[in-house]
Amino acid sequence: MKKTILTALALLLCTMADAQITTTPDGTLLEGMEYCSKGMVPDYATGQISRFEQTGIVAHVVNDGRKFYIQDPITHYRKGVWMEGELSDDGTQVVFHTPQVFTTEQGVTYYLYRMAQKGQSLAVDPTATDLIFSYADGTLTQTDGGYLSICNAEGRTTSYVEYGITIRPIGEQTLCPPADARHQTYQMSYETEGAPQSKTVDVAFSGSDVFIANPTGAKDSWIHGTLDGDRLTCPNGQFLGADEQMGRYVWLQAAEGSVEIITIPGFGEWPVNNIKLTEAEAVVFAYDAATRSFSCDNLFLVNAGRDALGEQYADFDKVRLVPYDEQPAVPADPQVVSWSGIIEGFGFGLFAINMPAADVDGHYINQDNMYYNVFIDGQQLVTPDGQTDIPYNYTDG
């Protein structure tokens, strides 16, 4: 029986698994789509399988009138790969044939497979490999009852699994400054997990309406508030749009508590999250008209969740916003925090550097105007995209 199943899987791979799709397909990219699912993911720290139920994932879906494409349908293992499905003639159903090529790592090719529950485990059923969705009112709803997983060529799951998938319009709109709003750059100082931070943000004014650019840096995302005398009131729970770096839709949430760092013998320092949402009606800033500055002593989050603490969030405590007047400055010296040397067996080393976004007198410097150079044994480091003057907030992914 096992030989028969493996032969059937091999036939499926030969007839149905085309090349990996990594470029955005032609067609209409559906805007404002939310991915919701249940699933499982391996926890390599414990060796166990963690289960989850999630909403608010930013979904990237393309419809060309004949086919649908979903990017990264396994949301906890993002590779920028598109899964291809066929739209029925009557436009009410989308069928994703599996297996489809997902990725190749260390010479092993992995596939997206529909799996079925067999007793207490999951297995590929060669007679039922289609992932089927209904399509109505702009919403894709999985109806086949199967499980989508990343598997090797033999159909053995990697334990990355999602099921009960729904992809639907988010149904909420962001508030953005009007075209005639007056913009000013502000310095935002705050604490996150107890550590002081500082950055510049855009603040827009239009009558009594004030718009603070999302401090996570998400594009076209603003915290809206109403200025009345010495108070700026920002409604709690307001929708802030998509944060592509998180891969989530985010909301403004009032919160309380903190992340404490405790020391566990044998394990070192460990964060303990005591943050929880509050039912406050608004996040309120005090306003000083003389200095045009704002302050908020209460914790708030940019939270990847509508009404519950998200799997991802950014926390902002003791926030101060003051108009920023940029001046020529000499950056403070960087500090080497750690250096591992070359790690045996890997051929590379790791080092950490603390680079204050401040000048020699402790005054804030706009990070957008800072860069650094790295020299190793006298040779200047070049980033994978060819930069030697490395922007302060540079990341290679």
pLDDT of res. 7: 47
The whole-angstrom separation of Cα 303 and Cα 248 is 9
pLDDT band for position 359 (50/70/90)? Answer: confident
Average pLDDT (331-336) is: 82
Range with the lowest mean pLDDT among 5-9, 207-211, 288-292, 314-318? 5-9
Q: 248: closest CA among 301, 317, 200, 192?
A: 301
Structure tokens at 142: 């999985």
pLDDT tens figures, 47-58: 788 898 999 999
Average pLDDT (25-50) is: 89
Range with the lowest mean pLDDT among 10-24, 317-331, 379-393? 10-24
pLDDT at 5 over 50: no
Check if the beta carbon of residue 74 is closer than 8 Å to that of residue 113. no
**pTM of the entire predicted model:** 0.78
Mean pLDDT score across all residues of the chain: 88
pLDDT at 43 over 50: yes
pLDDT at 335 over 70: yes
Calculate what percentage of the chain has a pLDDT beyond 70: 92
pLDDT of res. 311: 80
In the beta sheet, which residues pair with residue 349?
342
More confident of the two residues 338 and 305: 305
DSSP assignment of 136-157 equals ETTEEEE-S--EEEEE-TT--E
**C-alpha to C-alpha distances, 253 to 173, 227, 277, 280, 284, nearest whole angstrom:** 16, 19, 7, 9, 12
